[in-house]
Amino acid sequence: MKSRECLSSYNDAIYLQLYDLGIEIGIFDNILRRHGPRRGFNRGTIDLEGGMNVREVGGFACPNGRTRTHRFIRSGSTAGLTKADARALWQYGVRSVVDLRGHDEAVRAPETLCELLQVAYINVPFFEYDITDQVLNKGDGAGGYLADTYFQMLANYGAVQQAFSFFAEQPARSCTLFHCGAGSDRTGIMSMLLLGLAGVGRSDIIADYAYSFGYIPEVNAALFEATAASGNKVRADLQLRINAISVVYDRLVEHYGSVPQFLMRAGVTDEEQRLVRTRLGGEEGLWTRHQGAKGGIISSRTQRIKSVSNAT
C-alpha cells in the first residue's frame, strides 16, 4: 500500500482521492519519486493562516552542509497575517522584516508585522527606477521580458546594498522575513542572491525560484529528470520561468564571476557578506560549534508553523 505521508498537507482533493484509490495517473505517480532540494509537496513551506508563499531559505546544500533554517524566510504579502500568525513567526525567531515592495505599495498597504510585532523593519524598493548599471541586459531578448525585469532589479545596486547591509546588522541567530507582493519575482531574485552567497549550487537556486510557480514534484521533474526522455512535458509557463531565471543567473556569473563578486560591485562589503553568509550558510568554525544548537544544523524535514487557533 502506498504511503500518503508526502500528501498529508496537499489540498488538491481530486489528486488526493485518486491517490487514496491507488489509481496510477502517469506523470503524477512518477513525480512523487523524483528528487530535488525539496521533496514531497510542501517541503520547506511554512503554514500560516494568512500567509502567502511563505518558505524557508534553509535546507539547501552548501559547502558546509545545508543552509540553516530559522535565519531567512521568504514570503509574499503579509497583509493577511493574523495575530496568531504573528505569534507563530515570533516563536519561529522572526525579529526583522525587509519589505521589497515599492514606496507606493508600502504606503497603500503598510507592513502588517510592524503592527502586530516589535520587529526591525526596512522598506527597500527593489523594482523602482534607480538603475545604476544595465550591463547584464545585452538587448538580445534572452530569457524574455521576465529576464529583462530581473536585470533591472539587479542593476539597482543601491537596493541590493541596502538590503544586505540590513541583513548583516541583524543578530546572528535571529530570523529575517523578506517579502514583496506575491513572494515570487522580487523575493525570488533576493533569495537567489542569498543562496548564491551561501554557496548553494545553480540547480538548487533555480529550483528555489521555480517552486513559486509549480508544485515541488513538478519543478523537480522539470529540473532534475530527463523529462524529454521520459515523455513527460513541462508546462509552458513553468518552462518560461525556468528559462528566465537560468539566463539571469548565468549572465550574472558570466559577467561578475560569482554572486559574492556581484554583491561587492553593488557595494556590499566583505564583512557584511561574511556576516550574512555566517547566518545562513555558516563558516567552518562557527558551523562546527553550532552543530548541537537547537535550530542550528537543519535536516530536510519540513519546517512548519502551526498557527494558534485562538487569536487574542
pLDDT, one tens digit per residue, over 278-311 is: 999 854 433 333 333 333 222 222 333 333 333 3
Q: Are strands 120-123 and 94-99 parallel, antiparallel or unpaired?
A: parallel
pLDDT at 194 over 90: yes
pLDDT at 14 over 50: no
Give pLDDT, residue 138: 58
Burial class of residue 132 (count of CB atoms within 10 Å of its CB; 0-12, 13-18, 19+):
middle
Give pLDDT, residue 135: 55
Considering only 25-29, 92-96, 138-142, 159-163, which range has the smallest mean pLDDT? 25-29
| Domain coordinates in residue numbering, the chain | 42-289
pLDDT band at 175 (very low <50, low <70, confident <90, very high): very high
CA gap 162, 157 in Å, rounded: 8
Cell numbers 518552462: residue: 239
The mean per-residue pLDDT over the stretch 160-189 comes to 96
Higher pLDDT, 312 or 72: 72
Considering only 6-20, 159-173, 226-240, which range has the smallest mean pLDDT? 6-20
On whether the CB atoms of residues 156 and 128 are closer than 8 A, the answer is yes
Find out if CATH 3.90.190.10 is the number for domain 42-289: yes
pLDDT band at 229 (very low <50, low <70, confident <90, very high): low
For the question of whether the overall pTM of this predicted structure is more than 0.95, the answer is: no
On whether the CB atoms of residues 69 and 155 are closer than 8 A, the answer is no
Give pLDDT, residue 127: 85
pLDDT band at 33 (very low <50, low <70, confident <90, very high): very low
CA gap 185, 237 in Å, rounded: 14
Total residues found in the chain within this entry: 312
Strand, helix or coil at 175? strand
pLDDT at 232 over 80: no
CA gap 23, 97 in Å, rounded: 44
Give pLDDT, residue 16: 38
Q: What is the pLDDT of residues 239-286, one digit of tens each?
A: 999 999 999 999 999 999 999 999 999 999 999 999 999 999 854 433
CA gap 297, 312 in Å, rounded: 33
CA gap 225, 36 in Å, rounded: 9
Nearest to 41 by CA among 17, 16, 64, 69: 16
CA gap 254, 207 in Å, rounded: 20
Q: What is the pLDDT of residues 55-109, one digit of tens each?
A: 999 999 999 899 999 999 999 999 999 999 999 999 999 999 999 999 999 999 8
